């Protein structure tokens, strides 16, 4: 049985697109279920995703299905005992990663945001899925809670820094230049 804890709807600011996501309590953890629709340099994408986390908000598995650049995409990502795999193929370079981070949605920031202490900083190593591909690489990130519901975010390998607005459920509501919550 699942219990919905929150929902979010974003519109993309850097391209045509939107994403809708639902967070639910499921079995012995949590599940994100989302639907991202966007246009990038290679055409329209329609990607559905599911991320499963334990009660500690650490990623256990994720699925991405749909179409990207007119091609079918079907990915199964697992993390068991710290060992990551993509469609059954081991990915030892992701050793030490605790989260999945999909480059095409702000939804996957939710897991580290849920673990972020009220005061302080949370360093995270994420398995970063980039498109096209899909390609998974480690991405060292840090989240620091600021005043007024803001969180400072940094990604070491890309040099990207910003301040994310976050709702009480842990969803980003404003990701400057990339995503904005759609008010209902």
Widest CA span in the chain? 45
pLDDT reported for residue 7 = 95
CB 178 within 8 A of CB 155: no
Antiparallel, parallel or unpaired: β 29-40 and 17-26? antiparallel
Please tell me the total count of domains within the chain: 1
> Which ranges of the chain have pLDDT less than 50?
none
Check residue 1 and give its pLDDT. Answer: 60
pLDDT in tens, 120-137: 899 999 999 988 778 899
Residue range(s) defining the domain that contains residue 55: 2-181
Q: What is the pLDDT of residue 177?
A: 92
Cα separation of 25 and 134, whole Å?
28
Residue at token pair 């500690």: 56
Instruction: Answer left, alpha or beta for residue 178, where phi above 0 means left and psi between -120 and 50 means alpha.
Output: alpha
User: Rounded CA gap, 72 and 53, in Å?
Assistant: 26
């Amino acid at each position: 049985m699942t219990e919905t804890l929150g929902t979010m709807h974003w519109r993309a600011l850097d391209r045509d697109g939107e994403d809708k996501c639902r967070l639910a309590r499921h079995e012995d953890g949590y599940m994100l279920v989302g639907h991202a629709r966007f246009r990038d340099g290679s055409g329209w994408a329609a990607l559905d995703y599911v991320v499963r986390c334990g009660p500690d908000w650490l990623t256990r598995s994720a699925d991405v299905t749909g179409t990207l650049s007119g091609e079918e995409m079907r990915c199964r990502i697992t993390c068991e005992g710290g060992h990551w795999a993509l469609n059954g193929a081991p990915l030892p370079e992701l050793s030490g990663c605790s989260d999945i981070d999909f480059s095409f949605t702000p939804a996957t920031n939710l897991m580290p945001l849920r673990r972020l202490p009220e005061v302080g900083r949370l360093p995270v190593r994420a398995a970063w899925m980039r498109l096209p591909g899909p390609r998974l690489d480690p991405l060292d990130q840090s989240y620091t809670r600021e005043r007024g519901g803001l969180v400072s975010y940094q990604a070491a390998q890309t040099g990207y820094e910003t301040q994310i607005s976050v709702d009480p459920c842990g969803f980003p509501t404003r990701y400057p230049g990339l995503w904005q919550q759609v008010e209902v």
